[in-house]
Chains A and B, each alone.
Chain A
Amino acid sequence: MMGLGIAEIGHFTLALAFGTALVMAITPIIGATCPEHNALGDRLMQTGRLAAGLMLGQIALAFTLLTVSFLTSDFSVKLVASHSHSLKPMIYKFAGVWGNHEGSLLLWALILAIFSSAVAWSRRINPRRQAWVLSIQGMIAVAFLLFLLVTSNPFLRLDAAPLDGNGLNPLLQDIGLALHPPMLYLGYVGLSVAFSFAIAALIEGRVDGDWARQARPFILAAWSALTLGIALGSWWAYYELGWGGWWFWDPVENASLMPWLVATALIHSVIVVEKSDTFKTWTVLLAILGFALSLLGTFIVRSGLLTSVHSFASDPARGMVILAMLVVSIGAPLLLFALRGDRLMSQDQSRLISRETALVANNLLLVVATATVLIGTLYPLALEAWNGARISVGAPYYNATFAPMMGLMVVIMAVAPLLAWRMADGRQVMIRMIPALGLVAATILLSLLIIDDFSMAAAATLGLAFWLVGGVVMDLILTAGFHRQDRALAWRRLIGIPLSRWGMNLAHLGTAVFILGAAGASFFEAETIERAFPGDVLTAGNKTYRLESVLPVQGPNYSSTAATISLLDDQGAVIDTIISEIRFYPVSGTTTTEAAIRTRLAGDAYAVLGDGDSESGYTLRLYDKPLVSWIWGGASLMALGGLLAMARGRKGERS
């Protein structure tokens, strides 16, 4: 029988990996506590590095074997039977490997092993610190693999393999949804490395520029991945859920947003540690917090605690176990921080007007914003447990609390790169931001004149975006030296600006792009809901649509009613044709609505077929969504900027 033994080998390999993780957790510690240049100590630390590589090989093998089971549709494996189907396209069979609880934990473990190996193979990290970091990573791996093996074994077999699998939910066969978890896990695991670095710092009692330089790439990689992961989730909701919304302050969404906010604070904090002698305790604390929220995100969402308190009613034991694990893995570091944090004292020589202050302010805003999201998410559950009252915390709450904080952050963000370290000339910076201010004023004036339905909120949002753009441009001008005499030299210097600084500006620019996209989607969207017959022409905003036909269509595994809609230009000529469908999948019995979307830089045309018939007409929801793709475009620029910033500047380079 094909596949006989593969699952068992995979299971065995995982068990081996558990043993290797134990070695990786223990030997480096012993090695690091040996006296300096002790041969045994060096050997033990070396063993830690080898263990990391070995563990990677083992987990990679286990993952590969599980993948093979999925790709060959081996339904004797319980996981494959529950979550796959022979009719699934190959790519979604592959994505199905992590599209379930057990498989996603295995993916998490795999990514953990990859990052640990990256730490092990890095030559930049001095051996002692490397040993501590690997050891903590090993402990995390031990915990994860134990949890995996004991409660969530992906390699369980079924006694009688079914003829076919259960997993043919069409909603899950989607590229956005397939990439979303791996991206998020890359982020979470990257934060685990930052966490390990933080613990190492507490144990060593030392945080210095080297520490920051070594930790930075992992933090940037984590942040970029998280940015992309969240953007993917949002984009998926936009095109798949059929109503064009892209953020709902859903507890599950919030669970991924919180680590991202802390990671953003952490990036900026670690940069400060690299450049000057401050923010040390703060950075260590943020690293611990970031990973804590990642754990919260992974486990609590996966276990459904956030969506309903009662989802544990059937298995409170599992919840208690997870809670216990969280208490140990987060409580212990926080205790360590409390006890040994005083060794990381910094000398802060900065004045009130300085880049340090700007970064402190924004870090503070980010952390308070994170706390706000956490409170908004957990409060209804806590209140219910307290006195049974049920309330809802939705977008209105976050618009009132979270949004203003972020707005202020953006204001500071534009100015911060222009401020000098330690002591900045406030007046000079204000003068330099006058062009940006001019840009803002122009934007607000233009929008007053051009846009019909004007609102203060829209103007403020646009203004913020352009304020940020102005700041980015000004920073580039100043760094290249355009404000000095020699223009030719300035152009050369512009090209020569270190990649890491380009990264920062690209990420900040991406934020501005995101803001513009959000503004377009929120304030300038137009909608038309009408009953239409074939031949009818309808407009939404600047877009003109014509319903051409509504016909039944037979797809590969679904039957649908498809509305063919033409997009017309001003003269009535057809620019493009889009199709919106209501699909019925007989195997799973589900009905989905496919929106018709045409994405262009200036905006999206978005059309959704509702119900109706040939006699009474069909309900059509038609939209003009200006700039909406800038939301995800901006996020992509942010992630790209983060990746660029990983590039090493010349040592001592002011950035």
Chain B
Amino acid sequence: MTRWMRFLPLWIFLAIVVVAYAMLSASSEGTRDTKAIGFSMTNAAVPDLTLPKFEGNGTITLQDYKGKAYAINIFASWCGPCKLEAASIDVMAEKLPVIGINYRDNPEDAALFLEQFGNPYADLARDDDGNYSIQLGVHGLPETFIIAPDGTILHHQQGPVFASDLNGKLGDAIKRALGS
């Protein structure tokens, strides 16, 4: 075994250590959401969905909102973090219309939830078995989308909307949606 071959294990090991160090440093900074899958629908076109209304027999078609800036918020009565973000959604609803999608929920429980935490939604739809949400790339609750008039998803929030988000990326997306 020549000299360079004998050093090979050491170099390989040190390379792995450097990678591990980088991983550790990356994790120690930042407040990364462990639930996020690192992929969002941001910059994609919003799918053309027609959802059943929460109450009654009508439907809501996202195409009708083309030309306007709006938001979509996926929530449920059984979802803890949804309660946390209620106040932020109210603030959002003052700026642009928010379509609420009640996900896999019991109508009575959902009604109670809206009574308790307020109903900021311009339109309210329901998704009983997750069919529509999956088209939006939803995998956990709550999730919020900011959509530009041309139908592009400007921001896809996975997890609750906090005040810091309203002042951060989500807020910027709202401004851009309204501005254009």
> Do A and B interact?
yes
Selecting from A157-165, A378-386, A610-618, the interface stretch reads A378-386
Which of these binds chain A: B31-39, B84-92, B145-153? B31-39
- Asked whether A385 lies within 8 Å of B6 as measured between CB atoms, the reply is no
Q: Does A390 contact B (CB under 8 A)?
A: yes
- Which partner residue on chain B sits nearest A300 by CB separation? B20
Report the minimal beta-carbon distance from B72 to chain A, rounded to whole angstroms.
Answer: 23
- Counting chain A CB atoms within 10 Å of each CB, the highest count among B6, B13, B27 belongs to B27
- B-facing residues in A491-544 (Cβ within 8 Å): none
Q: Which residues 265-310 in A have Cβ within 8 Å of B in the complex? A: 281, 285, 288-289, 292, 305, 308-310
Known contacts A341-B6, A342-B6, A385-B19; A319 and B13 CB within 8 A of each other? no
Query: Chain A 445-465, CB within 8 Å of chain B: the 1/0 string?
Result: 000000000000000000000
Q: How far is the CB of A375 from chain B (nearest CB, A)?
A: 10
- State the Cβ distance, A325 to closest chain B Cβ, in Å: 11
Q: How many A-B residue pairs have CB under 8 A?
A: 77
Known A326-B17, A388-B38; judge A381-B23 contact (CB<8 A): yes
Least CB distance from B160 to A in Å reads 18
Count residues of B near A (Cβ-Cβ below 8 Å). Answer: 25
* Contact status B10-A335, CB under 8 Å: yes
A156 at the interface (CB under 8 A from B): no
Across the interface, which residues of A come within 8 angstroms of B14, CB to CB?
331
Closest chain B CB from A347 CB (angstroms): 13
- Main secondary structure on chain B at its contact with chain A? helix
Query: Do A334 and B20 touch (CB < 8 A)?
Result: no
Which listed residue, B9, B16, B34, touches A308 by the CB 8 Å rule? Answer: B34
Determine which of A316, A331, A390 lies in contact with B24 in the assembled complex, contact meaning CB atoms within 8 Å.
Answer: A316
Q: Known contacts A335-B10, A338-B6, A384-B38; decide if A327 and B19 are in contact (CB<8 Å).
A: no
- Chain A facing B: main interface SS: helix
Bound complex: CA of A385 vs CA of B24, how far in Å?
A: 9
How many Å from the CB of B14 to the closest CB on chain A? 7
Interface flag for A68 (CB, 8 Å): no
The answer to whether the Cβ of A421 comes within 8 Å of any Cβ in the partner chain is: no
Do A320 and B24 touch (CB < 8 A)? yes
| Known interface pairs A312-B24, A334-B13, A378-B19; 9 further A-B residue pairs with C-beta atoms within 8 A, sorted by A's residue number | A281-B6, A308-B34, A309-B26, A323-B17, A338-B3, A338-B7, A338-B10, A385-B19, A385-B23
On A, residues with C-beta under 8 Å from B are 281, 285, 288-289, 292, 305, 308-313, 316, 319-320, 323, 326-327, 330-331, 334-335, 337-338, 341-342, 345, 378, 381-382, 384-386, 388-390
20 contacts between A and B (CB under 8 A): A309-B26, A310-B27, A312-B27, A319-B24, A323-B24, A327-B17, A334-B9, A334-B10, A337-B6, A341-B1, A341-B6, A342-B6, A345-B1, A378-B16, A382-B19, A382-B22, A384-B26, A384-B38, A385-B23, A389-B38
